[in-house]
Amino acid sequence: MNKFFVALLATAFLAGLGAQTKAALVAYDPAITITTVKSLPDGIAFVNGDDINNNVWTRFYDGKLGIKGKVLWAVPQAQFDQKMNLAIAANDLPDIIPATLQQFKQLVDNGVAMDMTAVFKDNLSPLAKQMFDLDKGVALSQATVKGRLYGIPQLAGNTDSPQLIWIRADWLKKLGLNPPKTIDDLEKIATAFKTRDPDGNGAADTFGLAVNKDLFGGISDIEGFLNGYHGYSGDNDWIKTASGQIAYGAIQPEVKAGLARLQKFYKDGLLDPEFIVKDTSKVNESIVSGKVGIVFGQHFLPFWPLQDAKNADNSADWRPYPIVSADGKPAQPITGGSAAVIYVINKKCKNPEAAVRLLNAYYSKDLPLSADFDDSFHKIDATKDRAQVPVFQYAFVQGWHPQQNLFIHQGVRDYFNGKQTDKSKMIFWVKDNTEQCEAALKGDKSKWCALMWSGPDGAFSVIDKYWAGNQVKVSAYVGASTETMVAKMSTLNKMKLETFTKIILGQPITEFDKFVDNWKKLGGDQITKEVNAAAN
């Protein structure tokens, strides 16, 4: 993996791309107007008299691309879904529609989405194309329906999402335990955390494994545990069977075996006895107050809630470990799609290629690997009110390097192991992270999260090993939702959650077989058929 990146850096990016990206930024003459709507992420702010319709990006669009951008409405990210659903229902839509995956399907079905297959291919800049190539077509398949591309996926990559086990390393050390290699080890550790008073307060007030009532969702979930049984039961997990067919992960016998083991964990008191009423933020309370020592989750845990745990108790040394297997076969974490947002182009839009040009412009200005990279398009440093203003969030069409976070980690790691210690040669991303990791190592407690994220022993060191060892499984179907999926999937997911919870709480494991039957009858078989048809 690493060599691959170095090769990319050395050859493609620094050599010939500069000239090509410039050529890709052709301007409209006379200027055209493009409308869109914006989801404003947490922490966005406007300074120096800027607003969503007048900022570094819109001025650039206007001056260099001949595109007058107009944001019809903007809404905080948390409310975006609701507002967009209403706009779709009222058919009150702009030229470029940033849609969630469900909304994407709706827009295709109701005939709003323009077929972008040819326009996308003909207008994509070489740099942007590199990014889509690095993604190996995953994001594009998400925006493809019946072989036609109906939108531009906001490329984010699927590198980051494999599950990790986060464990209190200080507790391991105190009790003389080693990091787990198998599920049996994990059970031993959890038992020790429960019975051997790891916090030393003399009271039996700790338990082993943190799980939240929704069982899935990237934090305190059970996906990583079931992966240890080679079961894949996330809402969007599809697997390839031996016969080559695509089948739903959550109804496979491997999941049943994993659930049986979790049931035993619960019976032995290794899970929080009250987990069925605890949502993520309640579970985080247990983590921060030092009541639990193991939690499955994704890479972002150091930022939330583990940094809070560190603030509350400096000895809380949460560390990431690879997931473990129940048998001799190594456990494989699973990952899914590469995009959470798809830019749909309204059929009424007269200049669909403008959307692709906006994407090209984004990559050329915001991607640190680009010859035209300019960090004034990315952020404004310290103003009166904020430490940093993330101006890249103003852009109409965005996309990232699909392996960005992993790439950052590799740079940081090379700095700390002495391979590349010249900071002046570092690209923007890596430098920023390296400095924060150094601050954390010098004792700045508030930067601990950065160290445990991109640092040499952070979350991405484990994810790096997963990918390097070819250990990651990619869901066998990541494409657009099918018809029955839209209609039935949420009911089926609810049924899954209920059954899994019941089993963990001690109902006979045969409940699982009943669930599988019901799942198939209540639309699952139909969905499977549609998925297989869509994939071929």
Partner 1 sequence: MRIKTATGDRIFGIVNGTFFCILALLCLLPLVNVLAVSFSSSTAASAGIVTLWPVNFTLKSYQYAIAKPEFVRSFTVSVVRLLLGVGINMVLTIVCAYPLSKDRKAFGARGFYVWFFFITMIFSGGLIPWYMTIQTLGLGNSIWALILPGAVPVFNVILLLNFYRSLPVQLEESAYMDGAGAWQALWKIVVPLSTPALATIALFSAVGHWNSWFDGLVLMSDPKNYPLQSYLQTVVVSRDMTLYQHATKEQLEMLQSVSDRTTKAAQIFIATLPILLAYPFLQRYFVKGLTLGGVKG
Q: Footprint of partner 1 on this chain (CB under 8 A)?
A: 40-43, 51-52, 72-79, 82-83, 86, 89-90, 92, 156-161, 217-219, 279-282, 284-286, 288-290, 298, 300, 303-305, 307-308, 311-312, 338, 340, 379, 385, 388, 390, 400, 404-405, 408, 432-433, 449-450, 453-454
CA-CA distance, 228 to 224, in Å (whole number)? 7
Comparison of 2 and 100: residue with beta carbon closer to partner 1: 100
Question: Toward partner 1, which CB reaches closer, 245 or 388?
Answer: 388
Shortest Cβ distance from residue 514 to partner 1 (Å)?
A: 29
Alpha-carbon torsion angle 357, 339, 349, 115, nearest 10: 100
Dihedral sign, CA of 528, 162, 404, 388?
positive
Instruction: Give me the least distance between CB of 265 and partner 1, in Å please.
Output: 23
Indicate the residue among 191 and 493 with the shorter CB distance to partner 1: 493
- In the complex, the smallest distance separating the C-beta of residue 114 from partner 1, rounded to whole angstroms, is 24
User: β-strands 334-335, 473-474: how paired?
Assistant: parallel
511 φ/ψ angles, rounded to the nearest 5 degrees: -50, -35
The least CB distance from residue 390 to partner 1, in Å, is 5
Q: DSSP secondary structure string, 391-427?
A: GGGG-SS----TTHHHHHHHHHHHHHTTS---GGGS-
User: What's the half-sphere exposure (Cβ side, CA atoms, 13 Å) at 514?
Assistant: 11
CB 214, CB 305: distance < 8 Å:
no
Nearer to partner 1, 44 or 270 (CB): 44
**Residue among 525, 480, 408 nearest 151 (CA):** 480
CA–CA separation, 532 and 529 (whole Å): 5
Minimum gap (Å) between residue 520 Cβ and partner 1: 26
CA–CA separation, 32 and 351 (whole Å): 8
- Residue with smaller CB distance to partner 1, 84 or 503: 84
133/117 Cα distance (integer angstroms): 16
What does DSSP say about strands 207-210 and 164-168: parallel, antiparallel, or unpaired? unpaired
3-class DSSP state for residue 262?
helix
Q: Provide, rounded to whole angstroms, the least separation between the CB of residue 303 and partner 1.
A: 4
Q: Can you tell me the distance from the alpha carbon of 12 to that of 7, in angstroms, rounded to the nearest whole number? A: 8
Nearer to partner 1, 226 or 326 (CB): 226
Angstrom distance (rounded) from CA 417 to CA 432: 17
Query: Which lies closer to partner 1 via its Cβ, residue 24 or residue 107?
Result: 107
Residues 6+ apart with CB under 8 A from 392: 366, 377, 378, 379, 398
String of b and e for 324-346 (b: at least 16 CB within 10 Å)? bbbeeeebbbbbbbbbebbbbbb
Whichever of 263 and 346 has its CB closer to partner 1, that residue is 346
Taking a C-beta distance cutoff of 8 angstroms, is the pair 405, 460 a contact?
yes
CB of 53: closest distance to partner 1 in angstroms? 9
Task: Tell whether omega for the bond before 30 is within 30 degrees of 0, i.e. cis.
Answer: yes
Measured from the CB atom, the residue of 28 and 467 that comes closer to partner 1 is 467
With respect to partner 1, which residue has the nearer C-beta, 306 or 349?
Answer: 306
CB of 384 to partner 1, least distance (A): 10
**Nearest approach, Cβ of residue 451 and partner 1 (Å):** 12
**To the nearest whole angstrom, how small is the minimum distance from the Cβ of residue 76 to partner 1?**
4
